């Protein structure tokens, strides 16, 4: 006896069949990718960060050292889950490599690196080409780093490096695959700015051994290998790590602190951590363990110029020092933008109509700012300011998408 299916059921069955075919084909490409330079591949099914080589490949640009190539397939799995994928060969993927046989740090190497980190770098307050050079940030003759062709179309500059891009060129190289990336690049020519794909990943600032530690930690957190870390997986991993290190169970207060950390890491408030959210947060934590002098050396020319402009906003007499009086004036001017009349309208700052509330906020912010006065001279120098802000500047490199809270 035959079975008659409705058109809707037939269409749904065809969609399931097509998606299943794409998923199986994608798994097959991950499983049977062939040999890479004669080396056997390593399979890790459905993981967002997959080790593509078992023994590594030789990298001539890295002094002949062997590298492990990792493939980020998280975007590909998102496309499969949403049913948007129709062809396994066109699924979005990106790769990055890490030297496999990095030289372990001995005590002498660590001492040498620390001595190098502690060497001061003299970065003058005045820009080499004068303050006028900061006003002309973009040159009309800049060319897209991808195509190198002048087309007359809008260019999107990176706020960290000196590269500029065409939107179409970024799409061609697979860097604008989702709506979030498209929304973020719209900020490139605004005050907020935009970081290109090469600069927004803080892992580029880490050492080889630190990268391997983060990859291993992510693998242990992501129990079901779906390229995402849920709060349950995150807390389970933290509790296990604490148990192994301390020999006892984690207290409820410590669990709450770890969950608060999870919520801070979840930038887009989805309830889970992607590989890049995990990587950028943990990278920032590792950078925080380095000296301030070492962090300054990681800043780019653009980042230093941005810091100069911020410092100049406080430094009214341009003498390279900010006093408590200048700090109060600057914060009074900045906070005053959020109220119509600071002397009458203070409710916007949590007050109950008390006209002194505004001045209290000014004093509080100025007091926090003056903690950068390391030598207790009564003023914050340009050098002290840059050292204090270096970690915050580096941590601000990743593009943060707008957060939409559910009611």
pLDDT for 402: 47
pLDDT of residue 180: 81
Between 340 and 278, where is the model more confident? 278
- The β-bridge partners of 36 are 39
Residue whose structure tokens are 């700015």: 193
Specify which of 18-27, 277-286, 389-398 reaches the highest per-range mean pLDDT. Answer: 389-398
Residue 132, pLDDT score: 82
Average of per-residue pLDDT values in the chain: 75
User: What is the per-residue pLDDT for 391?
Assistant: 93
User: Does residue 355 register a pLDDT over 90?
Assistant: no
3-class state of residue 104 by DSSP: coil
**pLDDT level of residue 327 (50, 70, 90 thresholds):** very high
Residue 119 to residue 133: CA distance in whole angstroms: 28
Q: How far apart are CA 250 and CA 253, in angstroms?
A: 8
Least confident interval from 183-197, 267-281, 341-355: 341-355
Fold classification of 315-395 is Recoverin; domain 1 (1.10.238)
* pLDDT score recorded for residue 320: 94
CA atoms within 13 A on the CB side of 345: 8
Q: Please give the model's pTM, rounded to 2 decimal places.
A: 0.67
Q: Can you read off the two tokens belonging to residue 397?
A: 């490199």
Please report the DSSP string for 273-300 in residue order.
EEHHHHHHHHHHHHHTTS-HHHHHTT--
- What are the respective helix, strand and coil percentages of the chain, to the nearest 5? 50, 10, 45
Whether 254 contacts 261, CB under 8 Å:
no
Q: Which of 27-36, 80-89, 273-282, 319-328 has the lowest mean pLDDT?
A: 27-36
pLDDT of 50: 42
Give residues with Cβ within 8 angstroms of 233, minimum separation 6: 221, 222, 223, 224
Distance, in Å, from the CA atom of 370 to the CA atom of 379, rounded to the nearest integer, reads: 7
Q: Architecture of domain 203-287 in CATH? A: Orthogonal Bundle (1.10)
* Continuous H helices in 161-251: 167-172, 179-185, 208-221, 231-246
Residue 398 burial by Cβ neighbours in a 10 Å radius (0-12, 13-18, 19+): buried
* Long-range Cβ contact pairs of 316-322 (< 8 A, separation 24 or more): 320/125, 320/381, 320/382, 321/379, 321/380, 321/381, 321/382, 322/369, 322/379, 322/380, 322/385
Tell me the average pLDDT across 182-205: 90
pLDDT beyond 80 at 184? yes
Q: Which of 4-13, 59-68, 338-347 has the lowest mean pLDDT?
A: 59-68
**Whether pLDDT at 12 is above 60:** no
Q: Is the pLDDT of residue 139 over 60?
A: no
pLDDT of residue 141: 65
One fold for 137-199 and 203-287: no
Q: For residue 341, what pLDDT is reported?
A: 58
Lowest mean pLDDT among 10-19, 52-61, 109-118, 370-379: 52-61
pLDDT digits 0-9 by tens, 13-30: 555 555 555 555 555 555
Q: Where are the domains of the chain?
A: 8-99, 137-199, 203-287, 315-395
Q: Indicate left, alpha or beta for 194 from its phi (over 0: left) and psi (-120 to 50: alpha).
A: beta
What is the model's pLDDT at position 326?
95
Least confident residue range of 3-12, 18-27, 166-175: 3-12
- pLDDT tier, 227 (very low <50, low <70, confident <90, very high otherwise): confident
Which tens digit of pLDDT belongs to each residue from 363-383? Answer: 999 999 999 999 999 999 999
Two tokens, residue 263: 């919520």
User: What topology is assigned to 137-199 in CATH?
Assistant: Herpes Virus-1 (3.30.40)
Contacts of 190 (CB under 8 A, 6+ apart): none
Tally DSSP H helices, then E strands, for the chain: 15, 10
| Alpha-carbon gap, residue 313 to 326, rounded angstroms | 9
> Per-residue confidence at 88, pLDDT binned at 50, 70, 90?
low
């Amino acid at each position: 006896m035959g079975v008659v299916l409705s058109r809707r059921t037939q269409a749904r069955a065809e969609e399931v069949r097509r998606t299943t075919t794409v998923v199986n084909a994608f798994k097959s490409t991950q499983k049977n990718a062939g040999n890479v330079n004669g080396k056997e591949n390593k399979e890790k099914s459905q993981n967002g960060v997959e080790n593509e080589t078992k023994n590594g490949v030789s990298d001539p640009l890295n002094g002949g050292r062997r590298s492990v190539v990792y493939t980020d397939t998280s975007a590909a799995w998102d496309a499969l889950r949403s049913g948007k994928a129709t062809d396994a060969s066109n699924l979005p993927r990106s790769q990055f490599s890490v030297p496999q046989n990095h030289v372990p740090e001995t005590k002498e190497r660590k001492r040498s690196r620390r001595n190098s980190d502690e060497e001061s770098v003299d970065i003058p307050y005045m820009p080499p080409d004068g303050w006028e050079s900061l006003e002309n940030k973009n040159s009309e003759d800049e060319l897209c780093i991808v195509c190198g062709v002048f087309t007359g179309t809008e260019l999107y500059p990176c706020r960290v490096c000196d590269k500029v891009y065409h939107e179409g060129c970024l799409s061609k190289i697979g860097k604008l695959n989702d709506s979030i990336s498209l929304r973020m690049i719209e900020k490139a020519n605004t005050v907020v700015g935009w970081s290109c794909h090469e600069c927004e990943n803080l892992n580029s600032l880490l050492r080889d051994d630190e990268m391997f530690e983060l990859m291993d930690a992510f693998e242990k957190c992501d129990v079901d290998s779906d390229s995402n870390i849920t709060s349950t997986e995150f807390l389970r991993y933290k509790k296990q790590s604490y148990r192994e290190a301390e020999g006892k169970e984690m207290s409820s207060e410590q669990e709450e602190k770890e969950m608060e950390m999870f919520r801070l890491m979840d930038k887009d408030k989805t309830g889970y951590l992607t590989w890049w959210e995990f990587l950028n947060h943990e990278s920032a934590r590792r950078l925080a363990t380095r000296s301030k002098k070492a962090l300054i050396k990681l800043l780019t020319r653009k980042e230093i110029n941005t810091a100069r402009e911020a410092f100049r906003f406080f430094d009214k007499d341009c003498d390279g020092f900010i006093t408590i009086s200048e700090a109060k004036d600057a914060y009074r001017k900045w906070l005053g933008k959020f109220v119509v009349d600071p002397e009458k309208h203070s409710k916007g700052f949590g007050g109950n109509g008390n006209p002194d509330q505004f001045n209290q906020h000014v004093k509080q912010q100025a007091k926090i700012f003056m903690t950068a006065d390391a030598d207790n001279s009564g003023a914050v120098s340009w050098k002290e300011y840059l050292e204090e802000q270096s970690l915050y500047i580096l941590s601000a490199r990743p593009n943060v998408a707008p957060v939409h809270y559910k009611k």
